[in-house]
């Protein structure tokens, strides 16, 4: 193990197939320098997992940072005690309220100091995150959990805007979903070097029947208190938005029960099954963060999929 500033990642003199950088770049004087340094050590076709703060869900934090600046609150033990007392007195409905209740940032004095008194803290909206990647010659691959960013998943699909959202270019859909959802406090993205285009599942190309679906951890099948007509509801417990439950019917449940991480989609799908329905369903499972795909049986030159 080596301890090293992220900007000096190049000193490691090697490249890595997976680089994980969560919660760090947004604290640097120059996040783009840090990102470029990480890119330097990313192996060809390697994946970079980034987590960056997001602005709208952190609005309450930025308000209280400004409050602390105005009061010249410092990071001594007694000042932090007073600050905790002030936080307890915030009125209901303050934008910090949900974060105070749910975020580990507020579980300890050091967490509170880091959240409210760290002078280096910036957040990236979806378009700003894409700009940051672009400037470092990186290409967006996917969100670690993508359903909250996909208008076809959950509440946005039930609104009068569903059709209009679906017609937007992909990145515009993501930007719109960040605004619709309103409380995203961080973005977790997987990026690749520009010269190694990401290998995402492609359900418009012919190879999809040979993808092997693999269930994701945190997913559960619920069979109680179901919406009308549903045989089950698929949930990913890592999703924080409660509208992100995926109701499925009996025939979809049969397909889902066939997923064992070994069988390809065409092996799971009986010959009599409707191929178009299977295509739509497995693509939905992917968008809803229920499965990823091993694509090694779909093309001889790729090792693994996502
Ligand atoms: C909010 S914590 C995130 C910790 C952890 N990566 C996670 O996701 O839970 C921010 C971390 O960034 C580290 N950090 C700050 N500046 C850094 C730099 N220039 N190079 C490497 N790490 C840095 C801090 O030491 C701290 O551990």
- Closest-lying ligand 1 atom to the alpha carbon of residue 6: 20
Please tell me the predicted confidence (pLDDT) of residue 105. Answer: 81
Asked if 247 and 226 touch (Cβ cutoff 8 Å), the reply is: yes
Considering only CA atoms, which of 181, 62, 47 is closest in space to residue 115? 62
pLDDT digit string, tens, across residues 190-239: 999 999 988 889 999 889 999 999 999 999 999 999 999 999 999 999 99
Please tell me the predicted confidence (pLDDT) of residue 306. Answer: 55
Q: How far is CA 160 from CA 155, 178, 197, in A?
A: 11, 18, 35
Which residue's alpha carbon is nearest to atom 27 within ligand 1?
A: 24
- Closest-lying ligand 1 atom to the alpha carbon of residue 8: 20
- Give the Å distance between the CA of 5 and the centre of ligand 1: 9
Please tell me the predicted confidence (pLDDT) of residue 5. Answer: 95
Pocket test for ligand 1, best of 10, 20, 22, 24 (most atoms within 8 A of CB): 24
Q: How far is CA 282 from CA 30, 63, 285, in A?
A: 41, 43, 5
Please tell me the predicted confidence (pLDDT) of residue 198. Answer: 84
- Give the Å distance between the CA of 24 and the centre of ligand 1: 4
Asked if 177 and 150 touch (Cβ cutoff 8 Å), the reply is: yes
Intervals of the chain under pLDDT 70 = 272-273, 300-306
Q: State how far the Cα of 126 lies from the Cα of 253, in Å rounded to an integer.
A: 34
Q: State how far the Cα of 105 lies from the Cα of 115, in Å rounded to an integer.
A: 6
């Amino acid at each position: 193990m080596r301890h090293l500033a992220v900007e000096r990642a190049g000193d490691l003199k090697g490249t890595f197939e997976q680089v994980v950088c969560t919660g760090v770049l947004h604290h640097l004087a120059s996040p783009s320098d840090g990102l470029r340094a990480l890119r330097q050590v990313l192996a060809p076709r390697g994946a970079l997992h980034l987590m960056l703060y997001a602005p709208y869900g952190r609005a309450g934090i930025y308000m209280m940072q400004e409050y602390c600046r105005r009061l010249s609150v410092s990071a001594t033990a007694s000042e932090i005690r007073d600050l905790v007392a002030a936080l307890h007195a915030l009125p209901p409905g303050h934008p910090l309220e949900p974060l105070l209740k749910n975020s580990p940032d507020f579980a300890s004095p050091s967490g509170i100091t880091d959240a409210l008194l760290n002078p280096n803290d910036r957040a990236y909206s979806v378009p700003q995150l894409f700009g940051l990647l672009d400037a470092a010659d990186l290409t967006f691959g996917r969100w670690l959990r993508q359903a909250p960013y996909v208008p076809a998943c959950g509440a946005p699909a039930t609104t009068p805007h569903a059709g209009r959202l679906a017609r937007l270019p992909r990145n515009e859909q993501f930007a719109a979903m960040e605004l619709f959802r309103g409380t995203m406090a961080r973005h977790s993205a997987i990026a690749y070097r520009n010269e190694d285009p990401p290998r995402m599942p492609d359900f418009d190309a012919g190879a999809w029947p040979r993808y092997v679906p693999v269930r994701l951890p945190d997913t559960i099948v619920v069979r109680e208190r179901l919406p009308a007509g549903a045989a089950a509801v698929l949930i990913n417990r890592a999703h924080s938005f409660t509208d992100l439950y995926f109701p499925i019917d009996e025939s979809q449940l049969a397909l889902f029960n066939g997923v064992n991480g070994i069988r390809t989609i065409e092996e799971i799908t009986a010959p009599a099954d409707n191929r178009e329905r299977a295509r739509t369903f497995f693509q939905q499972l992917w968008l809803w963060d229920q499965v990823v795909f091993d694509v090694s049986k779909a093309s001889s030159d790729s090792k693994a999929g996502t």
